[in-house]
């Protein structure tokens, strides 16, 4: 079983007198910065000149400067900018200002694990990765609780990397829920696998194919949308709350029998074999090299796939139907 750390395992005083630089102010960045500030830490936010997030951070009373100046002024540097720009930003603005007195932290291990970022050997390198979107990290913290996180240590020349990472985790509220020990390799590879085979790639491909099967069989697109897209949240919410058994307890026995008897025919051994191939491509670096090259080339294939997805019939039908649902927050 995994090692889990709780509040009793953290010494929050390790952050006293230290300056924490948050590089980025997106989903995770804003939550880390605000939670740490509210926990009493001295927080700086590093953003490029002209960033649209500068005004948001300053409106919260945070001090904002460029990533190089924030890195130079900080004892702990947490990198929470998108994977594809971390390498260049590190080389230009972070790496030159690191020394043995500083700690470099990440909320995802991609660039460390795949070697896009190689910190000096005398610098502590660690990870605190909340298992929730940034807005949820913030909401739960404000309510007095916290979301679980992962902790990993890549380099520990000081001998205190874990203790300092747990103190950081306490600062964003995660020690209230629990922090699970992992490695940069495990976090990176399982995170990518989950995104590609289930959470993003698997679910959207399953929904899109089911929608096409129904509409090509003559069913109305609106009815198909309700059955394979709209109700998905209801099922996922049940699993989120109580696992698969709770979901099956909550649906009809007709639905439950269809789950057992038809589900394995849809997600059959061929699908499992494809999942295993996807995992292999993550493990051997094939996906990372492909994604890095895609960004170096200006994302032509990525942008084409994004446009095709946005123009699929299910998106057009869904937009119309969601317009009927006043209970949904407008996006």
- Do 138 and 196 sit in the same domain of this protein? no
Q: Name 79's Cβ contacts closer than 8 Å, sequence gap at least 6.
A: 23, 24, 86, 89, 90, 94, 104, 105, 106, 107
Q: Name 97's Cβ contacts closer than 8 Å, sequence gap at least 6.
A: 68, 71, 72
Task: Please tell me the distance from the alpha carbon of residue 304 to that of residue 302, in angstroms, as a whole number.
Answer: 5
From 182, 207, 236, give the residue that closes a domain.
Answer: 182
Catalytic residue annotation:
108
- Do 161 and 216 sit in the same domain of this protein? no
pLDDT score at 142: 97
Angle between helical axes of 201-216 and 313-322 (0-180°, round to 10): 90
Token code pair at residue 242 = 């109580």
- Do 23 and 157 sit in the same domain of this protein? yes
pLDDT score at 331: 53
- Do 177 and 195 sit in the same domain of this protein? no
- Give the CA count within 13 Å in the CB-facing half-sphere of 9: 19
| Spatial strand order in the sheet of 179-181 | 4-5, 179-181, 149-155, 124-130, 103-106, 76-79, 19-23, 42-46, 63-65
CB 175 within 8 A of CB 10: yes
238 in a structural domain:
yes
From 182, 200, 231, give the residue that closes a domain.
Answer: 182
CB 278 within 8 A of CB 197: yes
329 in a structural domain:
no
Token code pair at residue 7 = 């509040």
CB 104 within 8 A of CB 168: no
- Do 19 and 136 sit in the same domain of this protein? yes
Q: How does pLDDT run along the chain (331 residues), one tens digit per residue?
A: 899 999 999 999 999 999 999 999 999 999 999 999 999 999 999 999 999 999 999 999 999 999 999 999 999 999 999 999 999 999 999 999 999 999 999 999 999 999 999 999 999 999 999 999 999 999 999 999 999 999 999 999 999 999 999 999 999 999 999 999 999 999 999 999 999 999 999 999 999 999 999 999 999 999 999 999 999 999 999 999 999 999 999 999 999 999 999 999 999 999 999 999 999 999 999 999 999 999 999 999 999 999 999 999 999 999 999 999 888 876 5
Q: Name 308's Cβ contacts closer than 8 Å, sequence gap at least 6.
A: none
- Do 157 and 211 sit in the same domain of this protein? no
CB 77 within 8 A of CB 45: no
Task: Please tell me the distance from the alpha carbon of residue 137 to that of residue 131, in angstroms, as a whole number.
Answer: 8
287 in a structural domain:
yes
pLDDT score at 330: 61
- Do 153 and 36 sit in the same domain of this protein? yes
Task: Please tell me the distance from the alpha carbon of residue 163 to that of residue 18, in angstroms, as a whole number.
Answer: 14
- Do 27 and 137 sit in the same domain of this protein? yes
CATH assignment of the domain containing 140: 3.40.50.720
55 in a structural domain:
yes
Q: Name 23's Cβ contacts closer than 8 Å, sequence gap at least 6.
A: 29, 46, 67, 70, 71, 77, 78, 79, 80, 81, 89, 94
330 in a structural domain:
no
pLDDT score at 327: 80
Q: Which residues pair with 63 in a beta bridge?
A: 44
Task: Please tell me the distance from the alpha carbon of residue 114 to that of residue 111, in angstroms, as a whole number.
Answer: 5
Q: Name 68's Cβ contacts closer than 8 Å, sequence gap at least 6.
A: 46, 92, 93, 94, 96, 97
145 in a structural domain:
yes
Tell me the whole-structure pTM to 2 decimals. Answer: 0.93
Number of domains in the chain: 2
Closest CA to 68 of 50, 88, 49, 92: 92
- Do 126 and 50 sit in the same domain of this protein? yes
- Do 161 and 24 sit in the same domain of this protein? yes
* Host domain of residue 299: 191-322
- Do 171 and 25 sit in the same domain of this protein? yes
76 in a structural domain:
yes
126 in a structural domain:
yes
From 147, 182, 217, give the residue that closes a domain.
Answer: 182
- Do 177 and 263 sit in the same domain of this protein? no
CB 85 within 8 A of CB 60: no
């Amino acid at each position: 079983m995994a090692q889990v750390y709780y509040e009793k395992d953290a010494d929050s005083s390790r952050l006293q007198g230290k300056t924490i630089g948050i590089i980025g102010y997106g989903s995770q960045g804003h939550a880390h910065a605000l939670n740490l500030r509210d926990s009493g830490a001295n927080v700086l936010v590093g953003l490029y000149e002209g960033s649209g997030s500068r005004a948001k951070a300053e409106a919260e009373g945070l001090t904002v400067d460029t990533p190089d100046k924030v890195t130079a002024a900080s004892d702990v540097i947490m990198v929470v900018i998108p994977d594809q720009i971390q390498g260049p930003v590190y080389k230009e603005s972070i790496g030159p200002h690191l020394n043995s007195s500083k700690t470099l932290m990440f909320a995802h291990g991609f660039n460390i694990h795949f070697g896009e970022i190689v910190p000096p050997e005398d610098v502590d390198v660690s990870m605190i990765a909340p298992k929730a979107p940034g807005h949820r990290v913030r909401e739960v913290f404000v309510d007095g609780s916290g979301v679980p996180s992962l902790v990993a240590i890549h380099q520990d020349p000081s001998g205190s990397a874990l203790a300092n990472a747990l103190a950081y985790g306490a600062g964003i509220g995660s020690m209230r829920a629990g922090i699970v020990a992992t490695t940069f390799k495990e976090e990176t590879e399982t995170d990518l696998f989950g995104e590609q085979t289930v959470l993003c790639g698997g679910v959207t491909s399953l929904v899109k194919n089911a929608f096409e099967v129904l509409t090509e069989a003559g069913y109305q697109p609106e009815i198909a949308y309700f059955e394979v897209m709209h109700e998905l949240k209801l099922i996922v919410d049940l699993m989120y709350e109580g696992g698969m058994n709770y979901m099956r307890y909550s649906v009809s026995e007709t639905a439950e029998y269809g789950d057992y008897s038809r589900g394995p025919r849809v997600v059959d051994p061929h699908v499992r074999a494809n999942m295993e191939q996807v995992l292999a491509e993550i493990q051997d670096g094939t996906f990372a090299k492909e994604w890095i090259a895609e960004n170096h080339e200006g994302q032509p294939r990525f942008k084409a796939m994004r446009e095709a997805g946005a123009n699929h019939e299910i998106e057009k039908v869904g937009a119309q139907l969601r317009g009927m649902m006043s209970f949904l927050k407008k996006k």
